[in-house]
Amino acid sequence: MYKPSYELLKKYADVLVKFALWSWEWVKRHDVVFVQLPECAKLFYLPLQKSILEAWAYPIFEYVPDWVAKHFFENANDQQLTFYPSHYLHGKLKQMTHVISIIAENDKHELKWIDPKKISARIKSREEYFKKRVKKEIDGKMTWTLWLFGTPAMAKEAGMNLEDYRKEIIKACYLEYDNPIKKWKETFQKISKIRNSLDKLKIQRVNIKSKDVDLNIKIWSKRKRLGWWWRNIPSFEIFTSPDWRWTNWWIRFNQPLYYFSQKISWIQLWFEKWKIIKFDAKENKELLEELIKIPNADKLWEFSMTDSRFSHITKFMAETLYDENIWWKYGNTHIAIGRSCEETYIWDVSKLNQKQKEKLWFNFSPEHRDLISTENRIITATLVNGKKKVIYKDGKFTI
């Protein structure tokens, strides 16, 4: 079985700790870094701890054994499912400065036979924690990052052997370079030029069109685009949180959504007067229904495009973090339902109260799920002066 070296994993850890968490800067002295580490990613424990200690920060690891989630959902009663440990969650949130979440799965279908209503209830019960966490992020007091540790189960789901799967991660994260952080900075600078050009266009709304979509999305005038999104490693997308009130018509996704160890495939959504009025899926439609029932998950909160010239991800990875940034012939476009990204507000969102955010058509949900398609799509923008301009075609920005 292919096993990454300690030196390679240490290089990966340095990208997260010394680049991703504080927006291109090292973690600061005496910061508290909370790490969620599954058992199947234990090879990464020591390299990551070493990087955190080198930064003079304080590591706190939550080490999660395999099969814990399945065991919990099979045995917990309704009260246990929705129990909210406020002292623990609020205390953890108060102390931690950063969160590193490691995506690694021992079984891609661990929760296949779990009632979707149980999963939905568990997510809803954490809404207060999510609100407090988002506020701390918006206030600039906490950062986070996501990354992927390849496992045999994940490789098998993607139709690859473990060595090829992990090599795709190495390539996508620039780990074959002597100085991957330098390479990341260069890429982000190129992406930021396109992002700035999009902002200057003053886009009022967009239409996404192909054989599997005809969708209208309004882009609020007080929004900006985000790119070079260091919180996800890797990330090549440019996105914004639209004004959800004008989302209309329909869209289909040719890439599956993996949600709580279950696969939902060939999702279709129909929007009318900004809400999802109808949905369909070839697999796990019941789970999709429970996802949409979560508060405010029936609205569109993200619109994203990935330019095929930037991404180094060339294979389906069966994981959203990678698949939403994939480079195939036509790049990818995706939307998200659920929680919006308030950082897309054109000015300082930390100075706004909740009512002001609602007037800007930001809304909160304990969920945020990306839905992806790699079909060739033409995206036409209508500018504030009424002119139309194609901004994305054949997997590339055209501006």
- Residue pLDDT, tens place only, 188-207: 888 999 999 999 999 999 99
Domain boundary among 179, 203, 221: 179
User: Do the bridges between strand 368-373 and strand 332-338 make them parallel or antiparallel, or are there none, so unpaired?
Assistant: antiparallel
Is residue 1 a part of any domain in this protein? no
Based on the fold, state whether residues 356 and 211 are members of the same structural domain: yes
Based on the fold, state whether residues 161 and 192 are members of the same structural domain: no
Reading the block at residue 395, the tokens are: 């997997």
What pLDDT sits at residue 229? 59
State the angle between helix axes of 6-15 and 45-54 in degrees (0 to 180), rounded to the nearest 10: 50
d(CA 313, CA 330): 13
First to last CA, the chain: 45
d(CA 64, CA 45): 12
Average pLDDT over residues 301-328: 89
The residue whose two tokens read 């994981």 is 319
What pLDDT sits at residue 377? 94
Position 228 confidence tier, pLDDT thresholds 50, 70, 90: low
State the residue range of the domain holding 330. 181-397
Based on the fold, state whether residues 143 and 65 are members of the same structural domain: yes
Based on the fold, state whether residues 283 and 315 are members of the same structural domain: yes
Based on the fold, state whether residues 154 and 209 are members of the same structural domain: no
Based on the fold, state whether residues 132 and 280 are members of the same structural domain: no
The residue whose two tokens read 């891609």 is 108
Position 352 confidence tier, pLDDT thresholds 50, 70, 90: confident
Domain boundary among 179, 195, 210: 179
Comparing C-alpha atoms, which of 222, 219, 224, 225 is closest to residue 242? Answer: 219
Based on the fold, state whether residues 235 and 186 are members of the same structural domain: yes
Comparing C-alpha atoms, which of 105, 180, 99, 101 is closest to residue 146? Answer: 101
What pLDDT sits at residue 389? 97
Domain boundary among 119, 146, 179: 179
pLDDT digits (tens, 9 = 90+) for 258-305: 988 889 999 999 999 889 999 999 999 999 999 999 989 999 989 999
Based on the fold, state whether residues 311 and 258 are members of the same structural domain: yes
Based on the fold, state whether residues 116 and 257 are members of the same structural domain: no
Where on the phi/psi map is residue 386: left (φ > 0), alpha (ψ -120 to 50), or beta?
left
Based on the fold, state whether residues 306 and 241 are members of the same structural domain: yes
CB-side neighbour CA atoms (13 Å) of 105: 21
Based on the fold, state whether residues 270 and 236 are members of the same structural domain: yes
User: Quick check: 361 pLDDT over 90?
Assistant: no
What CATH number should be reported for the domain holding residue 46?
Answer: 3.40.1830.10
Is residue 79 a part of any domain in this protein? yes
Please say whether the beta carbons of 262 and 290 come within 8 A.
Answer: no
Based on the fold, state whether residues 21 and 167 are members of the same structural domain: yes
pLDDT digits (tens, 9 = 90+) for 71-125: 999 999 999 999 999 999 999 999 999 999 999 999 999 998 999 899 989 999 9
